[in-house]
Structure 1
Amino acid sequence: MSHGKQFTLYTHASGPNGWKVAIVLEELGLTYESIYLDFQKSEHKAPEHVKFNPNGRIPTLIDHKNNDFVIWESDAILLYLEEKYDPENKLNVTTEEDKFVLLQWLFFQASGQGPYYGQAAWFTFFHPEKIPSAQERYKKETLRVLGVLEGVLSKQEWIVGGKPTIGDLSFVTWNQFALNILNMDEGFSFQQEFPAVSAWHAKLEARESVKKIAEIKASVKK
């Protein structure tokens, strides 16, 4: 089967994990087609998608120029793209120690930032009944994760290697997501409470790839 673009990305109109993969595809100048699965219709759980991703979540990436290689889990996808399609190390680090630090941050993003921010959103916007204790717990965890980042970024510009990497980019869409919740609190100020994270986030949002994806997201938002 012939494909006009190198990759097929199964994603979602709102899901942060799919958008961060799209950002890295843009960063590396790779061509891709996005298929936006409708969660209300459980398209992510349908056989047509589960045959590629047994977890039935997004994102899922198919590399048509590598024997239709399939990979899922967003940070694993970022590592695949960076290792295979970033020969100039544009978004990579070069020392062995920095590579492990990069992995450390990707694990932290996947196990700390994403789940806590996601649960904060769930109990704020989607859970059928309001549970204040759950909302409070996950909002506090969101602030805690931002505090971890603040402690590091107050001492250095980027999280590893002295330059922007896939590690930094893995956080940006989830931070955008979290601000939708935190800004609901009248007294919250991102710049005042987390000045280093706010500055870092602003630099990431100023990147052409992130701006382009924001425009695409706005055009497909349902």
Structure 2
Amino acid sequence: MPRDMRPTKLYGGYLGPNPLKASFILSELDIFEYEVINPNSRLPAIHDPNTGITIWESGAILEYILDTYDKEHKLSFAPGTKEFYQARQWLYYQVTGQGPYYGQVVWFKRYHAERVDSAVQRYVNEIKRVSKVLDEWLERREWLFGDKMSYADLAFVP
């Protein structure tokens, strides 16, 4: 991290998969000086004092961090390229499919007041569908797209 940069505030920290996505990207870009704050675990959100921007939603946070700090495209791809749009496609697949379906299964299995088997089964089936698409795609390649690990790959890890 350049000497003149002030620490970014990451709200949400290490609790839950969505804040972990932002932690991974910050760490992979060697931005290790960030302050983790967790007001209610229903996050992530970040505040970057270097730009004055506060932003929430994990996918938007990743795009902001990459646009602002990944100028050499270590984890991203040059705008307008095929890889740029393919990586974004996989990010959206994660934030609108895999993430919410796993979250719903956890909710209905652990936290919902009464067991709702039809809800559990619905979301388990969606997890299987989403995972099958991902597994079949990765059978033929090492990374989701391009010849390197990207932010899209990291988004699926937590």
Global fold match (TM > 0.5): yes
Question: Alignment identity in percent?
Answer: 41
Give the distance between the partners of 1:37 and 1:128, measured in 2 at CA: 24
Equivalent runs, 1:1-222 vs 2, <5 Å: 5-11=6-12, 13-30=14-31, 31-38=33-40, 57-66=42-51, 68-94=52-78, 96-173=81-158
TM-score w.r.t. length of structure 2: 0.90
Give the distance between the partners of 2:68 and 2:54, measured in 1 at CA: 14
1:96 shift after superposition: 1.3
Give the distance between the partners of 2:6 and 2:24, measured in 1 at CA: 16
Q: Deviations over 1:131-153 (max 9, x none)?
A: 11111111111111110101100
Q: Runs ≥4 in structure 1, deviation > 6 angstroms?
A: none
Give the distance between the partners of 1:29 and 1:134, measured in 2 at CA: 41
| Larger Rg belongs to | 1
Please list every run of 5 or more consecutive structure 2 residues that lacks an aligned counterpart in the other structure.
Answer: none
2:8 partner amino acid: F
Give the distance between the partners of 2:156 and 2:35, measured in 1 at CA: 23
Q: What do you get for the CA RMSD once the two structures are aligned?
A: 1.6
The question of whether the paired residues in 1 share the 8 Å contact of 2:13 and 2:23 is answered with no
TM-score w.r.t. length of structure 1: 0.65
1:13 shift after superposition: 5.0
1:82 shift after superposition: 1.1
Give the distance between the partners of 1:137 and 1:12, measured in 2 at CA: 30
Specify the alignment match of 1:43 in structure 2: none
Q: Secondary structure at the match of 1:9?
A: strand
Q: Deviations over 1:25-50 (max 9, x none)?
A: 111111210002235xxxxxxxxxxx
Where is the helix percentage greater, Structure 1 or Structure 2?
Answer: 1
Give the distance between the partners of 1:91 and 1:121, measured in 2 at CA: 30
1:12 to 1:131, Cα distance in 2 relative to 1, 3 A: farther
Give the distance between the partners of 1:29 and 1:13, measured in 2 at CA: 17
Give the distance between the partners of 1:131 and 1:71, measured in 2 at CA: 35
Please list every run of 5 or more consecutive structure 1 residues that lacks an aligned counterpart in the other structure.
Answer: 40-56, 174-222
1:36 partner amino acid: N
1:6 shift after superposition: 2.0
